[in-house]
Structure 1
């Protein structure tokens, strides 16, 4: 059985690996990709998504235009030193993708209705689009979604944008707080677990020679760019963390991850802007069960690596 997934992303190199992983994994049926600002401007994000879908021969997957910036209206900071000038390291998507059909936000409601009670939302970018769904259509807009799998936050460990905050929460903390309050059945994958999901140059080298997928030419150049950025930011690191692959793998391989149920809140302003907070005391304050989120805190990294390699070594893509 394949899981129906509506993916929110902002590709970005690790987002791009997540999209490729989702398209290649036979247990995942991508039913739409929402592309907005984040690692790159919104227009570039949409173009990168279209490029990956085109490469994979999956033009049947609808692309939905996300937002151009956070709910606060503040200017967006992009990260070309990590993701490259166009989001795919040194790779430039071809100009032939200019006339791709892009849907508006209503398409999200259509997809939720079409896959009623049989849809998982995976968010590996900023949380602005999901928050906007609650603003535009009310707090029950996504009630028919089974679960939300979100990459974001950092608990009792350093952030990656500030000392306290992870990028997805920091870039739109108002949206992150809203989503953590209003979404139900949330599985959260913070830096605690995604920082350890490291893929090495040797692994990518093997895939770039042996992967039978149409994405093979992208793997080495995109990874090398990303890895160099990490080597500058984290001296001595042996590979690059695939943060955004983690929530997708958690859907199909739940045994890899261990969770702590806590209610998560996000600081919206000040020096701790974007900081994710949960009560980790030995006796945490009691919360109603339906308000608890499942925070991924541990992972079997060997199994993560094995599954990553296995998916990228599978045969050609087939339409699902």
Structure 2
């Protein structure tokens, strides 16, 4: 009886310490008159980010692939904040044609874009899947779609400066010790869920690094972040639990998240901090964790690798000369 009590006590203390050190955005800045886009905002930290920006008075566009689910979130945000300038637009970042349609609509309807939060993402499938564009699904959703979207909106972001681009990455990028730029879509090497996810999160940071360099002096800043250990749908997805080992891994992973993970509101704090905080005005090309600048992996800090990834990504999404605004 004594041992279980001690273990339970230590778990509670560990959870309290982790959550206590978690970063929190302290800025009270108003966003009245500003426009923000948040991808993947129909759930999780994306929803909490959109809600916070709406509460500050911004016009917030939820860019989501499930319009029914997203509209329910819009209604909730309007009810919670009283801000009626919250709308949803269709966007599937895994589909490059969807990205182009979304960007075209935004450029036709929005005179300004002050904040772009590239938040949408998936953990990846157990078995490799390829999109209609010939891209591996995880990479398409987490990297290529946001790479293309950001490029298509760059002109408007520059016209709206000072403006901010925030790319939601993950500490999982540390799990990638090497990257094969000639095989980003796992055509020649074996595919793994974690490998694909970690690589896509590394690409988020490298993309931020190179874009920040290209935009220096434009008034547009670009930063990436790790949201922390957040309880999410990753460990509860049925398609991942296809072997007994993976089922066991997901079971214990879910327990760890429930015991130590942040809720979505706390998990969104670093994203919100980068979107609104006065102290990061002008800060660009950095990686953040717990609302503080942090050190990314050595691969994620390789500027030559970032440049090479950019060039390959341009080719893979078939970025046309008329779509280049950096």
- Output the TM-score relative to the length of structure 2: 0.45
Tell me which structure has the larger Cα radius of gyration.
2
| Structure showing the higher helix proportion among its residues | 2
**TM-score, normalisation: structure 1:** 0.46
